[in-house]
Amino acid sequence: MNHLSLIIKREYLTKVRNKSFIIMTFLSPLIMVGIFTLVGYLSQLNNDKVRVISVLDESGLFAEQFESTDNLKYERVDGLALSEAKKITEENGNYGLLFIPKNNNIDELAKSITFYSEDSPSLGTLDDIEDAIQEKANTMKLTEAGIDAARIKELRVRVNTRLETFKGQETSKLGSGIKLVFGGAAGYLLFMFIIIYGNMIMRSVIEEKTSRIIEVIISSVKPIKLLLGKILGTSLAGVTQFLAWVILLGLFSVIASSIFGIDPGSMPQQQEALAQADAAGGMESIVQDVFVEISNLPIANLVVMFLLFFVGGYLLYASLYAAIGAAVDSETDTQQFMLPLLMPLILAVYVGFFTVIDNPHGTVSQVFSYIPFTSPVVMLMRIPFGVPLWQQIISVVILFATFIGTVWFASKIYRVGILMYGKKASYKELAKWLKY
């Protein structure tokens, strides 16, 4: 077996067999599902408590408007004086008292409604109450003005602007959202991958230095081979872990939802969003739209470029992580080098999530999708919005050219650094190493 495959095999096996690696592989998805389940469970628990609201409606106009639900009950206390009603509400331990005074002017009435309660009421409950009153008040005002409220409801129009490029490619706002999800997911995935496994490479380089085995290895293998083997072996372990996470996350979600009856994926906000979508135009049509939009995405382009940028971007950073590992004696010394490495990465994510969303083809987005240290993340986010192929190719070429440069740089640092013990490397020192 040749050296490179031996090294890759060893790196891969030691990573994969490492106890903390195995534990993290299982624990991370477990914790994630656990947290979502817990949050889902707690919010459900919250909802299970029945709140009783006393309603004192002196106007007699709105009492019918309040429909009790499973966890919110309205109790009419008609005919009591306000002070009495307050007392009773408090004594019964009810959530609060809604007081609607008598007033013939609807506008004035709307302003004089009061909610009495022990603590500040939840905004959600208040919204529900206000919505109910508002609807009725609106209808009443419309009727007053001689307009048929039911007719207006019928005539309401739902607007969904269709977007189309000059070349005739159809998109929509929904489509933009989906593109964003795809691009964002790809960019963020790469970001996470670089940070987690770049660090792992760095630590494994440091380990070889601290255990002093490096010189034994280097007397059998060229440093560049060891460097490459390390990066590739660790990356394979990373891909393995990522796949395991995807599978386990799915598995644990299914288990959690079947045990607790909670879908950890559906958080309250999402439910709300779905409910809104439902109201707006029916679930089915939305789902259909989503599928249409997804099929409209340049899938082949996306997949190929994802692979290229992922590999290129990851290797670029991985080689620098390895160089840092070689330059220091222990992990605590890495700080001064980590910041300049992380800055462009974080910048890329910021540019991606703020500028690209705002204007995927603006100058800032374009520039950052050429700079090799940010291009993998930024370009991956831009591609779903349609980037001309020549731009993509230029960006990939720049990325790989820079990658060759950083590998050269990293291997220089690595070659010298791995044999330097006890010397605290400064940037000046590193510059000197390049000339050795």
- Interface positions with another protein (CB under 8 A): 1, 3, 6-7, 10, 14, 18, 207-208, 211-213, 215-222, 419, 421, 432, 435-436
Closest to another protein by CB, 158 or 212: 212
Q: Spell out a b/e string for 249-288, using b for 16 or more CB atoms within 10 Å of the CB, else e.
A: beebbeebbeeeebbbeeeeeeeeeeeebeeeeeeeeeee
Closest to another protein by CB, 156 or 212: 212
Phi, psi of 160 (to 5 degrees): -140, 100
The distance of closest approach from Cβ of residue 321 to another protein in the complex, given in angstroms and rounded to an integer, is: 20
Closest to another protein by CB, 252 or 433: 433
Closest to another protein by CB, 87 or 222: 222
- Between the alpha carbon of residue 63 and those of residues 83, 117, 140, 335, the distances in Å are 19, 19, 14, 65
What is the distance in angstroms between the CA of the first residue and the CA of the last residue of the chain? 32
Please compute Rg for the chain using Cα positions. 31
Closest to another protein by CB, 210 or 288: 210
The distance of closest approach from Cβ of residue 242 to another protein in the complex, given in angstroms and rounded to an integer, is: 23
Cα–Cα distance, 80 to 97 (Å, whole number): 12
Cα–Cα distance, 349 to 339 (Å, whole number): 15
The distance of closest approach from Cβ of residue 212 to another protein in the complex, given in angstroms and rounded to an integer, is: 3
The distance of closest approach from Cβ of residue 390 to another protein in the complex, given in angstroms and rounded to an integer, is: 42
The distance of closest approach from Cβ of residue 381 to another protein in the complex, given in angstroms and rounded to an integer, is: 39
3-state DSSP call for residue 98?
A: strand
Cα–Cα distance, 68 to 78 (Å, whole number): 17
The distance of closest approach from Cβ of residue 223 to another protein in the complex, given in angstroms and rounded to an integer, is: 8
Closest to another protein by CB, 206 or 316: 206
